Chain A
Amino acid sequence: EDQVTQSPEALRLQEGESSSLNCSYTVSGLRGLFWYRQDPGKGPEFLFTLYSAGEEKEKERLKATLTKKESFLHITAPKPEDSATYLCAVQAFGGLTGGGNKLTFGTGTQLKVEL
Chain B
Amino acid sequence: KAGVTQTPRYLIKTRGQQVTLSCSPISGHRSVSWYQQTPGQGLQFLFEYFSETQRNKGNFPGRFSGRQFSNSRSEMNVSTLELGDSALYLCASSRDGIEAFFGQGTRLTVV
Question: Hey, which bits of chain A sit against chain B, CB under 8 A?
Answer: 31-32, 34, 36, 41-46, 49, 51, 87, 89, 91, 97-108
Contacts of B56 in A (CB 8 A): 97-102
- Beta-carbon contacts of B36-74 to A below 8 Å, as 1s and 0s? 000000111100101000011010000000000000000
The answer to whether A108 and B42 touch across the interface, beta carbons within 8 angstroms, is yes
Decide if A45 touches B102 in the complex (CB within 8 Å).
Answer: yes
Interface presence of B22 (CB below 8 A): no
* Closest chain A residue to B55, Cβ basis: A100
Looking at chain A's contact residues, the main secondary structure is loop
How far does the Cβ of A103 sit from chain B's closest Cβ, in whole Å?
A: 6
User: B33–A32 contact, CB under 8 A?
Assistant: no
A43 contacts B102, CB within 8 Å?
yes
In Å, the complex CA distance between A45 and B55 comes to 24
User: With A and B bound together, what is the CA distance between A106 and B96 in angstroms?
Assistant: 22
Pairwise interchain contact A46-B94, C-beta atoms closer than 8 A? no
Q: Nearest 9 CB-CB pairs, A to B?
A: A43-B102, A105-B43, A100-B56, A100-B55, A107-B42, A32-B98, A44-B102, A43-B104, A102-B56
The answer to whether the Cβ of B21 comes within 8 Å of any Cβ in the partner chain is: no
Cβ-defined contact, B58 with A42, below 8 A? no
